[in-house]
Structure 1
């Protein structure tokens, strides 16, 4: 594809493929700019300082959705497709049902003209180069429906649960227009899923028994989905309004400033000379871009336009080059701090601080990227690839080592100075501390600009041009170090000052705006280029203003799909809460799995893949977490698997994003194939094979939560990171069939066994020394008294589930401090009573460990599982590394003159 065609591909999926000329096109740009300005305003402290323009959450969500729907109708043309014809048939059937259900006497006559108008609009479709009158009408009516909650907020608050006809009319119009704009902006997948959930809400009584429910009336559904904050205007849209927009805008501004090109150039200067260097650079640059990007497709096209042709030049096939880019770009969605907006949704859904979400996600994401670099290295070794030429000879080993140690020392010293320096600033300067910190940042910014001004400006290279040599790493890195300052501000605000994600993104965005406006004039001054007076300075400042406006518009257009996706996903969340389908889905999975833990996880993974097909990352996570996270928690407790909720959410999220890779709907694979010229299905298959390491990680951290740094100290955390990285590299070597040289079947099996043992040493140790011993419920106090403090302590409980059906499940609590078993039982907040031979829960203290574990009054304790004293599970590393040494010895024996490509070469 040409660059224009690639830009259109990204636009059609992320920003809207319609950019009409004239006043209509200008309207789109102006509204997009105003949306960004509105989001910056509500995220800033200015409304509270000026006591003007303060909006509550519902008002902000209403305006946010109005902007998104208006821009979506103008920017996304309606494509003619079989789905369009199916809608023209389905809508009258559904509306007739609703009309009969409501009845003419019940005021449901208004459904018919609304339905007729929507059917006509669907059938007419729309061109790509202009906006027809009926689409203007749909855009303006959708704005009115979205703003209904803002305009009539006080009246709606007075009649909660008692919607009037006006509420129902607006709700039906809003839902239909939202579903139609979802089809335009995001494709039919999410629209169809949301529509099916709406149909399920109405037709509960006629569903199969296992998923049947009482059904809901038109009034109940319309009120729940549109008038309250349980459906469309729920948590997902709230997160999009409060957090996600600012992070997407921040990424767009950073890219406009030139950071995207800087990341790519740095990656190539550092890694381009290695075996398969362009592919390794693609992985690293995609990881850096993924830090700020919310779209795997945009990531593929942004970095892939440059990296894929270079990968093909050094020997990768079209499919493998595209697959490397897909695997690395999609993984950007699991890399903190943004995680495709899922990190902020997890804060709301799981109920833990943002810092904890980042901490749990960082090791799996980092390991996944390290393993992908290693996979690329193995592919290069298989075919004897070379790197790109570089402009310098490598330093001697000693000089490299000294330079590395010196660099680490400088970074550590600077980090300590900044941390403790800023720690003293706040108490020392009080209210003025913010100004002092800003002045310090400006000073560092100017210093880094001066460093960058000593180097040649980075140019955007032509990937199809001949490369005679790679850029020098030192000058390339130094030329844009100031791009890291806004990221530092963001991470500092989030993790040190512990500000809210929205406020943190605001301060980072504000500093990014400052850089955009000043980097060109200041760089001219520092380079001594301003020789003609104020005219050149004014022109450079004007260019910065133009970049700022373009970045504001780009940020808003990038958010159209996310805003629509979160609103539509809210329909699914609302249907789940209104019908209780989550419990029904748990029953379905339990029946299909037969209660087997691994089967439960595999089924959940497959369902997450299916539900994620064709959905953007944000909507993807909302859907799979609402439907499937409770399934793992519920069935896991019943079958002895007790894991933190954050681990479950990460599990479904990982498999949800895998749908961007997996054929036949892997959107990122199609985008990469468009760049590489390869077959999209083959590209997706290879990318899925490369992504097996990402698919393996969720299973590992479900069973070994050490990988998520849950209840793990820093020393143990470093140990876990090192061992898990080694295990993942061995797994990658096994799946690639190449370690030091080509592996035979026995060596591949051995490597898989070693990797599994390092990842989960407790699996084998539990067979040698069982971690639990069972005791009757009557000995609960004795078991508590004998157990070591801090060790996990389990109870098998019989009680009722959410719908009143009897169920058995396990709970786990840490053994608390206490002199006796009675004291420890009290410290847990648990009171029991003996009823004949049964031990019942008599009382559970509010917010106690017992309540948090899921215990409630009148439950029956069936079994006490007390911890056994056991040797460390890490003893299993001894046989694992012994077997690894044997594999290394066997492979080194085979490396010789007959296998020159197999000889290990420095990466």
Structure 2
């Protein structure tokens, strides 16, 4: 049986690789900038959307059938093949109807409705197979509400044209909405080149070098491998942008070593999950949601990079602080001579870092010069291919570069199924007017309370983000909540950044925390306990959005709603550093010694006072923090002095 299955799977593997490579080359050709008078793309919009999506569907089908662990049940394979045929037919119908719409009026009938429903069913099926039930269920609910909204009572009732026209247009036959609509367009033109660049950056061999260097730099700290996990995940995150991919890429090395240093399995998994999740907010290559956000808000990607820089650095500093206090609580000491499975970094390891930082420098430089994000990423990709030859492993096997393109094409095709499901949800929300109704409800619930609005939006992010990739979670919540947030005074960039960070945080938020679950599978910890611990370790990713919502100067760009001034900005950074120290020690329950309950409570109160927007409260917070910390350190110094004196 096994030999027979391997014979079947090998052709499927090669077919998947070939189709994935074709996705990469076709997509890159569409967005490639002109070289002199020569230019391949952009291809005709309707034709490209239909053919590119059809190609991605074939990649996903081949990947679903090419399961290496166990053979799929026959009925799933049969359904996958049938729905693929339906999706290909839908792509042809989309192209045919769109051409007719350009030339004359077109009346949608039952045939177009059934084709649109067939396309939606296929997209949701593959989304369910790849990303799990939550995203697919949201799409099903959206379709059901779109079809029956005119029958619902009171404010839930929808108004509009015929159900047939609503379903056909909003599910498939529109360049602005539906599976092949505007969200699809943003992703294939802006996000796609970065996905390919990230795949190549991961595959050229710098990842292992980064881990060895991080362990070398952190070997003299008490946290040792835990600090190295944070540093390597931060570096890896500049490339990856995927929380689960980051956990798998670095966690297999870091988590066992964190456990051997004396940390619990739950804490080891939590550190890796929290650090890997932060990779999605680490410039310059963040998660796909950051690229989509720049397009939604109407600002340059460089503006997004500058705005997220301080929150990202603050988040990683908070992880270092949480590990520091945990080592003190457990009594773990620095052990530079501890055995390590990793060799010391060599000259080649440091040379390999050029494969990461030179392309990233090119991206930043080109963005500053005014080039589009896709043009900057393709230019970095063009530099990376010849530059990768400095790695002897790539020189020995140049076919690795082709494999990187295959991996990138496959990754994007899988992501596109989630985007298709979310596009259905967005279309349902737009067509039925839910965002407007939600905004009215939110405004009536909290007429003048920005805090209640932010809490409601954050809760919405966490609930909708359960089990979802960050991009679908961000896009869905942004469609619902951001109009109401803007009504309460937030600038578009600040509101979108708030939703973006909370959507990123959903990867470690129980009960469905995909990054924490991936880490728990490596650490042998309990999934729920690991996700709870990860939420505590990464607590600042939940708090920082509330800080810049009330203090937009933290984002350092004028588009956030506050003109940049150096002295107030430095004062805000100083308060942020103090807040990280107070919060990390309070949540760990340890500073120089174990904290008593009233000390923990006073530290938490001081953190809250630091960031209350009304004048004077921050000074009260600093005064309280000074009293609490001075008292704690004074008592500990007295104890140490007393012990030394008696000896």
Partner of 2:627: 886
Does the 8 A contact of 1:731 with 1:755 survive in 2? yes
- Alignment partner for residue 506 of structure 1, among 378, 387, 407? 378
Asked whether 1:543 is paired with 2:397, we answer yes
Go from structure 1 to structure 2 and tell me whether the alpha carbon gap of 1:645 and 1:238 turns closer, same or farther (over 3 Å shift): same
Question: For each residue in 1:276-335, what CA deviation from the matched residue of structure 2 results, as whole angstroms up to 9, or x when unmatched?
Answer: 111111111111111121321111111110110010011110000001111111121222
Selected match of 1:193 from 126, 138, 145: 138
Determine the C-alpha separation between the residues in 2 that align with 1:126 and 1:613: 28
Using structure 2 for the length normalisation, give the TM-score: 0.90
Paired with 1:631 and 1:265, the residues of 2 have a C-alpha distance of 47
Secondary structure, in 3 states, of the residue corresponding to 2:375? helix
Does residue 1:243 correspond to 2:231, yes or no? Answer: no
- Correspondent of 1:377 among 304, 312, 324: 324
2:27 maps to which residue? 39
Does residue 55 of structure 2 align to residue 204 of structure 1?
A: no
Matches within 5 A, 1:665-680: 665-680=512-527
TM superposition shift of 1:548: 0.7
Residues 90-140 of structure 1, C-alpha deviations (whole Å, 9 max, x = no match): xxxxxxxxxxxxxxxxxxxxxxxxxxxxxxxxxxx9717999565334324
Query: Which residue of the partner structure matches residue 232 of structure 2?
Result: 285
2:164 and 2:114 map into 1 onto residues whose CA distance is 11
Quick one: which of 83, 107, 119 aligns to 1:162?
A: 107
Please tell me whether the aligned partners of residues 251 and 292 of structure 1 are also in contact (alpha carbons under 8 angstroms).
yes
1:750 to 591, 602, 626: 602
Distance 1:54 1:339, change over 3 A: closer
Provide the residue aligned with 1:233 in structure 2: 180
Aligned to 1:515: 387
In the alignment, the residues of structure 2 paired with residue 376 and residue 329 of structure 1 have an alpha-carbon distance, to the nearest angstrom, of 15
Identify the structure with bigger relative contact order (alpha carbons < 8 Å, sequence gap 6+): 2
Computed over aligned residues only, the root mean square deviation of the Cα atoms, in angstroms, reads: 3.1
Distance in 2 separating the partners of 1:692 and 1:604: 17
Distance 1:629 1:484 in 2: 35
1:339 aligns with 2:262: no
Per the alignment, residue 574 of structure 1 pairs with 427
Deviates more, 1:747-756 or 1:678-687: 747-756
Higher relative helix content: 2
Structure number with bigger Rg:
1
Distance 1:708 1:341, change over 3 A: same
For 1:41-120, list aligned pairs within 5 A.
41-46=29-34, 49-50=37-38, 54-76=42-64
Instruction: Call closer, same or farther: CA 1:713–1:346 in 2, change over 3 Å.
Output: same
Contact conserved, 1:323 with 1:687, CA < 8 A, in 2? yes
Cα drift, residue 479 of structure 1: 5.5
**2:481 aligned to 628, 652, 661, which one?**
628
Q: What per-residue deviation string (whole Å, max 9, x for no partner) do you get for residues 839-869 of structure 1?
A: xxxxxxxxxxxxxxxxxxxxxxxxxxxxxxx
| Contact 1:314-1:387 at 8 Å conserved across structures | no
Q: Are the equivalent residues in 2 in contact too, given 1:269–1:473 (CA < 8 A)?
A: no
Rate the CA distance shift 1:497–1:273 in 2: closer, same or farther, 3 A. same
- The CA deviation at 1:631 is 2.4
| Residues 729-744 of structure 1 mapped to structure 2, 5 A cutoff | 729-744=581-596
Is 1:493 aligned to 2:373, yes or no?
no
SS in 1 for 2:334: coil
Match of 2:456 in 1: 603
Aligned to 2:3: none
Which secondary structure state, in structure 1, belongs to the residue aligned with residue 287 of structure 2? helix
Unaligned runs of 5+ in 1: 1-17, 80-124, 392-465, 525-539, 637-641, 768-875
Say if 1:47 and 1:149 are closer, same or farther in 2 by CA, change over 3 A.
farther
Q: Deviations over 1:5-44 (max 9, x none)?
A: xxxxxxxxxxxxx996232221111000111111221121
Q: Which residue of 1 aligns with 2:121?
A: 176
TM superposition shift of 1:593: 5.0
CA distance in 2, matches of 1:302, 1:598: 37
The 8 Å contact of residues 171 and 222 in structure 1, kept in 2 or not, is answered as: yes
Question: Structure 2: how far apart are the matches of 1:355 and 1:594?
Answer: 34
Between structures 1 and 2, the one with greater strand share:
1
Q: 1:246 to 1:692 in 2, by over 3 A?
A: same
Q: Post-superposition shift, 1:602?
A: 1.6
Are 1:368 and 2:315 counterparts? yes
The answer to whether the Cα contact below 8 Å between 1:647 and 1:701 also exists between their aligned partners in 2 is yes
**Which whole-Å deviations, capped at 9, do the CAs of 1:45-96 have from their partners, x for residues lacking one?**
25983355541444433333222222222212599xxxxxxxxxxxxxxxxx
Q: What's the TM-score once normalised by structure 1's chain length? A: 0.65
Closer, same or farther: CA 384–469 of 1 in aligned 2, 3 Å: farther
Deviations 1:336-373 (A, max 9, x none): 23331111111221112222212221111110111111
Aligned-partner SS, 2:438: helix
> Of 566, 574, 582, which aligns to 1:715?
566
- Secondary structure of 2:241's counterpart equals coil
- Spell out the pairing of 1:2-13 with structure 2 (5 A cutoff): none
SS in 2 for 1:506: helix
The CA deviation at 1:147 is: 4.5
1:272/1:146 CA distance change after superposition, 3 Å: farther
Partner of residue 563 from structure 1, selected from 416, 430, 436: 416
Greater displacement, 680-689 / 649-658: 649-658
1:676 Cα deviation after fit: 0.4
1:350 aligns with 2:297: yes
- In the alignment, is the contact (CA less than 8 A) between 1:70 and 1:140 conserved in 2? no
SS at match of 2:614: helix
CA contact (8 A) 2:426 2:476 kept: yes
Residue 411 of structure 1 aligns with which residue? Answer: none
Distance 1:168 1:47, change over 3 A: farther
- Offset of 1:882 from its aligned partner? 3.9
Find the aligned partners of 1:54 and 1:19 in 2 and give their Cα distance: 40
Contact 2:100 2:106 (C-alpha < 8 Å) held by counterparts: no
Q: How does 1:392-403 map to 2 (within 5 A)?
A: none
Q: Gaps spanning 5+ residues in structure 2: where?
A: 1-5
User: 1:390·1:471 contact (CA, 8 Å) conserved in 2?
Assistant: no
Give the number of equivalent residue pairs: 629
Given that 2:212 and 2:342 are in contact with CA atoms closer than 8 Å, whether structure 1 keeps it comes out as: no
Shift of 1:150: 4.1
Shift of 1:474: 8.1
Q: How has the CA–CA distance of structure 1 residues 150 and 744 changed in structure 2, closer, same or farther, with 3 Å as cutoff?
A: same
> Are 1:483 and 2:335 matched, yes or no?
no
Deviation for aligned residue 1:159 = 3.8
Which deviates further from its counterpart, 331-340 or 303-312? 331-340
Aligned to 1:683: 530
CA distance change for structure 1 residues 324 and 723 in 2, over 3 Å: closer, same or farther? same
Q: 3-state DSSP class of the match of 1:343?
A: helix
Instruction: Give, in whole Å, the separation in 1 of the partners of 2:7 and 2:254.
Output: 28
Cα distance between partner residues in 2 of 1:179 and 1:323? 31
Q: Is the CA contact (8 Å cut-off) linking 2:109 and 2:164 kept in structure 1? A: no
Q: How has the CA–CA distance of structure 1 residues 160 and 744 changed in structure 2, closer, same or farther, with 3 Å as cutoff?
A: farther
Distance 1:731 1:161 in 2: 61
